[in-house]
Amino acid sequence: MAVSLAKGQKLSLSKSGGGELTRVFAGLGWDAVAKGLFRKKAVDIDLDASVLLFDGRGKLVDEVWFNQLRSKDGSVVHSGDNLTGEGDGDDEVVHIDLPAVPAAVQTLVFTVSSFTGQNFSQVQNAVCRLVDAAGPQEVELARYELTEAGPHTALVRAKLTREGSGWAMTAIGAPAQGRHIRDLRDAVAAHL
């Protein structure tokens, strides 16, 4: 059963029954707010899931986003860009092979930004979830509802940090401004 995280809450990650996680994915889902007399859907909103990888000193090592779908070492892989948020479930997914993440990488920070420039007052049902993908069935480990509606165009949504031989997830949910990952580096740095 998944743990529902609140903003700022941290969860130590391990497999149920013990052991360390090996393959996980971070899913991002969202919908545009329905507007108008007949509750027609607003224009499509192109949110982009991205990941920044940092070393223990807070130096950016790599980044994964719609324009670079794979980390240099191949341990982090983006599913590709969803331009609308249409459909149920995860709209964009980032797969992580945790044992393959280089030892120098201590933190992975997940962001979401509105490439089309709409702000988060036009987004609903936004969720970030972490799923154990190593077994025959996917198991949702943690879920964080992104409820921060407002004039911001991006969120620093969560981070994974090394804790000994394992990992921990922290829900962040910090509003930011930017249309893509390069606009968010300063906002992310505040959460390392």
pLDDT tens for 160-179 read: 999 988 899 998 989 999 98
21 lies in some domain = no
| 22 domain-assigned | no
Distance of CA 174 to the CA centre of its chain: 12
Q: Which of 187, 191, 171 is nearest to 179 (CA)?
A: 187
Considering the domain boundaries, does residue 38 fall inside one? yes
Tokens of 47: 């949110």
pLDDT tens digit sequence for 66-113 = 889 999 999 999 987 655 555 566 778 999 999 999 999 999 999 989
Whether residue 43 is contained in a domain is answered as: yes
- Look at 37 and 69; give whichever has higher pLDDT: 69
What range does the domain containing 65 cover?
3-13+27-189
Question: Domain tally for the chain?
Answer: 1
Does the residue 65 lie in any domain?
Answer: yes
Assigned domain for 74 exists: yes
Q: In this structure, what token pair is assigned to residue 98?
A: 């945790």
Residue 179 maps to a domain: yes
Q: Is residue 18 part of a domain?
A: no
pTM (predicted TM-score): 0.88
112, 28 contact by CB (below 8 A): yes
Q: Pairing relation of β-strands 166-176 and 10-13?
A: antiparallel
pLDDT, greater one: 127 or 110 = 110
Predicted pLDDT of residue 127: 83
139: Cα within 13 Å, side-chain hemisphere: 15
The whole-angstrom separation of Cα 51 and Cα 46 is: 17
**CA 37, 43, 49 angle in degrees (round to 5)?**
135
Which CATH number covers residue 180? 2.60.60.30
Percent pLDDT > 70 in the chain is 86
Averaged pLDDT, 120-129: 82
